[in-house]
Structure formats: structure tokens, C-alpha cells
Amino acid sequence: MLGAVGGCVEFLVRCEPGLGFGFFEQLTWLTLACGAGLAVALPFGVFGWAVRKLPVVGPRADGLPLGALLGLHLALYYRFELVLNESLRDPGVAGVLVAMFVGGLLVGLSFARLVRRVGEFLPWVGFILAFAGLLRGVPPAPTNASGSNIVLVTWDTARPDRLSVYGGPAQTPALERLAAEGAVFETAVATAPLTEPSHLSILTGLPTIEHGVVSNATPLGDRPELIVHRLQQAGYRTGGVVSGFPLHSKYGWDQGFDVYDDDFGRLPGWHRLSLARALDQVLLPGNALRERKGEVAIARAERFIDRHAEGRFFLWVHLFDPHAPYEAKSADDAPRVGEPLDLPAYWPPYHRSITSTEWLTQAYDDELEKTDALTGRLLDRLEQHGILDDTTVIVVADHGESLTEHGVLFEHGDDLFDPSLLIPLVIRAPGHEGTRVACQVSTLDVVPTLVELHGLSEGAEQGRSLVPMLEGRTCPDVAVVASTIGARHVEDPPVDVAWRLPEAKFIRYEDDEDALFDLVADPGELFPVEDAERVQAASEALDELLGGREVQVDMALDTEDRAMLEALGYMDR
């Protein structure tokens, strides 16, 4: 019984409204917590029963289950809160963990008499704690405000030229539906070819040279506010459902959200429990779940819509499925005759023996089609509630993917070529008809567009509103500045910066010779312009855009972050 009560205590401590768990999901979590507590306490209880007649230890054996629970939680608090950046291979760290667990056991033994005295009251204590946890975890109620809702869907690793709405082979009926009722931006450019810095630009309207995040696993800290802060102030209920670890709340991404769902486990809450975290240290690569399937994320997003359909809300849904490895279809029938492809090191063994780039490109297209179908589910749910026509829907990618270009097979993040920077952008806003916009735009333009469409207060964003383009008015091209690390997370990695216009791109390499590309004559960016005067003029144009600012890598990787970055291919092993 003591183990179950211990589970109720942990459930009460960890349950909170911002997780967005429904009643039955909370009951599931409570059951898991009680089961985990029993799994820890029961073996020690059995051992205590077996030695109850021994001298010295026997009379105190009733305190062993309490000691085991106390020792485990002390040890895990030390591990995850105090020495997270240290390796378990460090004898000092391992020694303290063992000492804390043993110390917890000794404390439990010293309270054996108290355990016996309160034993008959434990069921009531557990019931009260469980009830308090269920009350504490009730998700936020819908707001009473009226007006248009906002749904922002970000596709990870999606390049536009593969999508049917852009003339590509992957069939995307959901995007085509949005395009018929809204606007397709034919040349949209990301500010970075990596998930976290690009998403920060999407949600702040600031380039990397301003917000300072240029790599994944960077804590946001006191970065400029996200658009969700202003939406909260305007009366919106804000929700986020993310599917990849670079956007995990551990880096500060939950700020400004009433509900932030980054629980990647199949059973809600399980991986938040101490016992599960201890098991993850041993069983999971990178010591944590790194992503979740889009079906799970969409189900969570649908519940948010169901709960808040009567109010006014902002919902951000991040779908990680197009990111490699591509698993929308089985790899059992993949070609494996001949020389295996030189795929990135993080791809699993059953993919690394594939020999056909064509098969993997089709597999990538399948991921895009799956992601489009999941996006369609969101549109259907909005329509079921009768609020689709009162909702601004934006679908945008954080970055693209190099399928074979520049010798890079099914990867992104290291370079600033168009396969990694060009992205889809489709906006459907109430009161606007279908149109295609040919001029170059940027992910920086998402926030200013929402500000104008929904009458929000202006902030520090530097993009431009796309509302004139939605209305078919003029659309001048603007230069887009992008940056990335020039090497995987080595010590003090170089930072490369580029600016792009539809007709030209200039890339400044920190550790290499700068390059200017004529995108009209050389759309594949294969032959750098050799005219020294043109290159110098392009370099000066970048200097003017930067205004003397430099992008700095601001991050400190712990062992868990490093392992997860390796597992997803964001860091060389």
C-alpha cells in the first residue's frame, strides 16, 4: 500500500493544467504512478517480511518500502536536477547516487514504527492525494472571448518542390484545399535549416542574427517574446503540440502556452515518472524519447480543439514525420542489391543497407503525403465544430531536405543551399480568396501577418505582413538572411550566413571562401560566380543587412542533449 501512496504523491507533484491531459488520461497516469510505486516498494516489502524475525534488521524491516521510495527519488533528484550534465560513468556521480539510495533506505528503517502505526490510514491518504492530483491537473477552460481562431501547423523537413500544390509528385489534397481558399507563396525561405532556430524565427518574426539561436538544444532563456504571449494578453487560449525534442519544454518552449504537450510516450505521463526516467537511462538511446508519430500529435491537437472550440484559441501543431529516417512505408521491399548508400550515421541499420536513392525519395514523398493527411484531419475537426471559416490556418515548414543535391543524401542542417532553405507556405484566412504569390517571402512574415489579421499589438518582429499579398496587391521581393552552423556540434562551431533574392544568393563561410550564385543561370547553385567585383558587392550587401551584428552559438550541451542530437543526426558521433 505504501508504494501506491508513493505513486499518488508523485502524481500530485507532477500533474499540472499545462499538460492538457483529460480526465481519463490523468486516471491512466495515476494508475501508472501507483504501479511504478508498487514496483519499487513491493520487492523491499517482501524482503522485509522474509527477514522480520532476524535480530536488529527484523524489527525495522517494515520501513524498507518507505526507504526504497525515498532513496530512489533522492537519487533521481540528484541525477536530473543537480548533475544532469555529468556522466554516470563518473565514479563520483555514481557514488553519490548509491549513497543517496542507501541513505534513503536507512531513513526508512528508522521510521519503521511510524509506518506500522499509520498503515491503516494509508488508503485514505492515497485517496486524498489522488483526488487532489486530479483536481490540480484539470486543463484550462475555454476563454469567453469571441473572434477568429488561429491554427499554425509546422511541417518538419518539408521541401515545396515535392508537393502537388507546388507541382511536385507527393499528393497533398489538404494543402490544395487550403490553397484554393487562401494563398500559396511560391518562394518562401526559412531563416535556418535547423528545427529550433527556424521555429523561433517563425514564432517571433526575428532572424537568427536577432534572436541569437542558431543551433538545436539551445535554451531560450530571456529571448524575445513569442507571439503566444501577445495572444494570451488578447484573450486567446494558447496550445502547443510538438513532436520533436528540439522543441521540448526543457529548452523553454512552453513559455506563453496555457497547454504545451511534449509528452512523446504512448502512455500519457509514463516517462515523467521517476521509475520510468531511471529505466530510460538504461533502455532508451539518448536517455529520452526524441520524437513521436504524427497520429499521436494530431489526436492530442484534436482534443485541444474539442475542449476550446467554443472559445477563442491559438493552436500550434508541429509534425515531425517527414524528418529522416522515412518510415511511412515498410523498408522490407527496399532495394538492397549493390553498394549501400552513404546515409547519415543516425539512420537505423535496416535503412543503411538500402542501395536506391529513388526508393528513398519516394519514401520521403510518402512521409509528406502522410503529413498532409494528418493536416487534413485537423481541418476536418475544425469543420466538424463549425469554426473552420472563422479560423486562420497557416501551414509552413521549418526547413527543407537535401535528397541528393550537393552530394548530401537525405539530410539538412550543414549548408545554406536552396534544398534546405526553400519551404512551403500556405495561408487560409477568413475573408480572403485563393491566390498564388510569386514574390519571395520569409518565415519572418508569419508573425506580422497574424498581428494585422487579428488586431494584435505590435512587437519587435522584423518581417512584413503578407495581408496585401493575400488580397492580391503588389508583392516586392525582399532579401532573406539565413544562417547555420558550418559543422556539427563541435567545440566553437563556425557559423555561416547567407542572403537570398530570387535571382542571386551569397553565402559567407566562416571557415571557407565566400560564394555568390546566380540563381537564374545556375538554379542548382553548382557554379560560384567568379566575378570578383560582383562577389565584393554581394558581401557588402550582406554587411549592410547584418548591420555589424554577428550570430553567436549560445548553447551548453549536457550528456542527454548530446546523445539525442547524435541519434537524430544533428551532431557528429
State the pLDDT confidence band at 573, using cuts at 50, 70 and 90: very low
- How many secondary structure helices (H) and strands (E) does the chain include? 19, 13
Other Cβ atoms less than 10 A from the Cβ of 149: the count is 24
260 vs 15, 179, 198, 202, 371, CA distance in Å?
13, 29, 19, 17, 21
- State pLDDT tens for residues 291-343: 889 999 999 999 999 999 989 999 999 999 999 889 888 888 889 988 999 88
- The confidence band for 433, taking pLDDT boundaries of 50, 70 and 90, is confident
State the pTM of this model: 0.85
* pLDDT at res. 223: 74
Averaged pLDDT, 105-127: 70
Q: Is 348 exposed, middle or buried (0-12, 13-18, 19+ CB in 10 A)?
A: exposed
Pairwise CA distance, residues 295 & 212, whole Å: 33
Angle between helix 195-204 and helix 446-454 axes, rounded to 10 deg: 30
Per-residue pLDDT at 22: 85
Query: pLDDT value at position 120?
Result: 66
Give kind and range of the element (H or E) at residue 480.
strand 480-485
Give the chain's mean pLDDT.
85
- Domains of the chain (ranges; CATH) run 2-136 (no CATH), 149-237+286-477 (3.40.720.10)
Task: Say how many CA atoms lie within 13 Å of 568 toward its Cβ.
Answer: 29
Cis peptide before 325 (omega within 30 of 0): yes
For position 137, what pLDDT does the model report? Answer: 85
Q: Is the pLDDT of residue 344 over 90?
A: no
pLDDT, position 557: 45
Query: Can you give the pLDDT at residue 201?
Result: 96
Average pLDDT of span 529-556: 80
Q: Are 127 and 371 in contact (CB under 8 A)?
A: no
Nearest to 266 by CA among 31, 29, 33, 22: 29
d(CA 344, CA 340): 12
189 backbone dihedrals φ, ψ, rounded to 5°: -125, 135
Q: pLDDT tens digits, residue range 362-402?
A: 999 999 999 999 999 999 999 999 999 999 999 999 999 99
User: What cell was used for 559?
Assistant: 550528456
| Cα 287 to Cα 84, 241, 320, 321, 559, distances in angstroms | 11, 21, 19, 21, 9
Q: Which residues are registered as beta bridge partners of 482?
A: 498
